[in-house]
Amino acid sequence: KKLLLIDVDCGTDDAQAIMMAIAAPNVQILGITCVEGNTSLDNVCKNVLRVLKLCNRIDIPVFRGSGKALIGATIHASDFHGVDGLGDVPDPNAPGLELIQKEHAVDALKRITSKYPGQISLVATGPLTNLALAIRMDPAFPTKLKTLYIMGGNMESRGNTTACGEFNFLVDPEAANIVLNEFTCPTYIATWEHSCRSKLSWEWYDQWVNKGTKKADFIKKIYAHSLQFSKGDKESKALVAGPGFVSCDSYAMAAAIDESTVTSVIECGVTVETCGKYTRGMMVLDFIDSLKLTNKARIMNGCDLEKFKVLLENTVK
Ligand code: BDR
């Protein structure tokens, strides 16, 4: 089985991505680490536990990580994901924070990757604060991973939070900069534009969430809040090339589960702008190798939507 660690700021699409990994028979999840992002760190931890309970996988250890970006004010994505991160449809029977492991997420990342050097794929679907801290605490951390899959950044400078800022990189540009500059293992990036171009039709979405299973009902419920945006005019304008259902974090997760969902990549050094007045948080692609970055990221540039849909269908079974 593929060994997986998942680092999330659990909003709606992170929840979806976790469920996708749980449903994949070829994957073993060694732990889920939490970071502040879409919602507060407490909510992120609760949301992960809620998803694990729904999937009868409360045995997967969940670790609490950084509750603040390295520098700068906290930004949440409450407009889209709801204040609680899961569409503000609380479950009174959701598990409590007492189930969170005592060990800090960054210590867990270091410990688990040291136990299985070169064997673990890490999927990061939130701000990269925990990963950057792990590198600073253990400079060998990047060499211990097999592959890193990131949802974040933009390949054509299109923002979804500011003009040039994609949410995950914008929340902690310094962390994203450290990770992209210093990671040495193969690194796949599912950018905002890639996600938008890999959208699914609303017809497909409607049949998917109306399967009548417990998991389909959950997905339908948590996404209801965001549909007013994703079906609405504002979000449609932010999307690249028209409306449709986009589950950003699932593209990174799908790549980790089945690399053949990625049909093409652009290989190039990438970093993140930390200073620009208009461009803070923007991903920078160094096509002419002027920065001499040692790692060349694989920017995902094509998705096999048929295979992707199968993974989504499996998620709600
Ligand atoms: C990313 O930002 C978050 O709101 C989503 O969960 C996704 O990880 C998209 O820009």
Please state, as a whole number, how many other Cβ atoms lie within 10 Å of the Cβ of residue 211.
Answer: 15
Please state, as a whole number, how many other Cβ atoms lie within 10 Å of the Cβ of residue 94.
Answer: 14
172 CB near ligand 1 (under 6 Å): no
Please state, as a whole number, how many other Cβ atoms lie within 10 Å of the Cβ of residue 199.
Answer: 21
Separation of CA 267 and ligand 1 centre (Å): 23
Structure ipTM: 0.98
Locate tokens 């060349």: which residue? 296
Separation of CA 45 and ligand 1 centre (Å): 17
The reported pLDDT for the residue numbered 227 is 85
Separation of CA 168 and ligand 1 centre (Å): 6
Separation of CA 78 and ligand 1 centre (Å): 11
The reported pLDDT for the residue numbered 229 is 75
Residuewise pLDDT in 10s, the chain (317 residues): 999 999 999 999 999 999 999 999 999 999 999 999 999 999 999 999 999 999 999 999 999 999 999 998 889 999 999 999 999 999 999 999 999 999 999 999 999 999 999 999 999 999 999 999 999 999 999 999 999 999 999 999 999 999 999 999 999 999 999 999 999 999 999 999 999 999 999 999 999 999 999 999 999 999 999 887 777 655 555 666 667 899 999 999 999 999 999 999 999 999 999 999 999 999 999 999 999 998 899 999 999 999 999 999 999 99
**Nearest atom within ligand 1 for CA of residue 249:** 8
161 CB near ligand 1 (under 6 Å): no
14 CB near ligand 1 (under 6 Å): yes
The reported pLDDT for the residue numbered 155 is 96
The reported pLDDT for the residue numbered 188 is 98
d(CA 249, CA 306): 17
13 CB near ligand 1 (under 6 Å): yes
Whose C-alpha lies nearest to ligand 1, atom 2?
A: 167
Whose C-alpha lies nearest to ligand 1, atom 10?
A: 167
| H helical segments located in the chain | 12-23, 41-54, 78-81, 105-115, 129-137, 141-144, 167-171, 173-182, 192-197, 202-209, 214-230, 233-238, 248-257, 305-315
Locate tokens 């929840």: which residue? 15
| Cα-trace Rg, the chain | 18
Cβ atoms 293, 181 nearer than 8 A: yes
Q: Choose one of 8, 35, 38, 75 to mutate for the ligand 1 pocket test, by most ligand atoms within 8 angstroms of C-beta.
A: 38
Residues whose CB falls within 8 Å of the CB of residue 296, separated by 6 or more in sequence, listed in order? 267, 268, 269
**Nearest atom within ligand 1 for CA of residue 126:** 8
The reported pLDDT for the residue numbered 235 is 57
153 CB near ligand 1 (under 6 Å): no
Residues whose CB falls within 8 Å of the CB of residue 44, separated by 6 or more in sequence, listed in order? 8, 9, 10, 34, 35, 36, 37, 38, 85, 126
Separation of CA 249 and ligand 1 centre (Å): 7
Q: Is 9 a catalytic residue?
A: yes
The catalytic position among 9, 172, 249, 258 is 9
